Amino acid sequence: MKILKIVRKTEVGKGVSSMGDVQHISIYIDRRPADVYEFASDVRNLPRWAAGLARSELRKEGDEWVADAPFGKVWIRFAERNRFGVMDHDVRLESGVTIHNPMRVVPNGEGGEFVFTLIRRPGMSDEKFAEDQAAVEKDLRALKNLMEQKQP
């Protein structure tokens, strides 16, 4: 199983850019992109594959979903359903900080490429950024394993 990582490093605060490091983490899933989208965009399925975000059943509160994450309670809001495979979502932490997470599945041959964009938050250490990257990779492998079975 291959995880592709594309890294863009920037020099934050040195007059070069105000953007943080970005990693596009992707994995090929041998399943129709529409099937992957249907499964992964259903917030109720997150505990089955995204343990880095949701460890237990989610609860609906207004237009957000509440989950117990490894790092505390979070509120999740996904992009509206769409035909482009976009599953961008915002995660609001207990601290009030909101993290935008670009995520999508795109056609690639007979299957799809699932891409998660990890953006380093201001003040995030190299160690924490690496931990977040490892958690995303683990979650994407879990999604791949589920989707490549006959029925997720």
CATH architecture, domain defined by 3-147: 2-Layer Sandwich (3.30)
Percent of the chain scoring above 90 in pLDDT? 72
Is pLDDT at 140 greater than 90 in this prediction?
A: yes
> What confidence score (pLDDT) does residue 4 get?
59
> What confidence score (pLDDT) does residue 14 get?
44
Q: What's the start-to-end Cα distance of the chain, in Å?
A: 19
Residues 69, 54: contact at Cβ < 8 Å?
Answer: yes
Tokens encoding 64: 């957000």
Instruction: Work out the mean pLDDT of the chain and round it to a whole number.
Output: 87
**Measured CA distances, 116 to 21, 61, 70, 137 (Å):** 14, 25, 19, 9
CA-wise closest residue to 6 among 119, 108, 88: 119
Tell me the domain boundaries of the chain. Answer: 3-147
Query: pLDDT tens digits, residue range 6-20?
Result: 555 544 444 334 457
Distance in angstroms (rounded) separating the CA atoms of residues 46 and 54: 6
> What confidence score (pLDDT) does residue 52 get?
79
**Is the alpha carbon torsion for 26, 27, 31, 36 positive or negative?**
negative
> What confidence score (pLDDT) does residue 13 get?
45
Query: pLDDT tens digits, residue range 14-64?
Result: 433 445 789 999 999 999 999 999 999 999 999 999 987 888 889 999 999
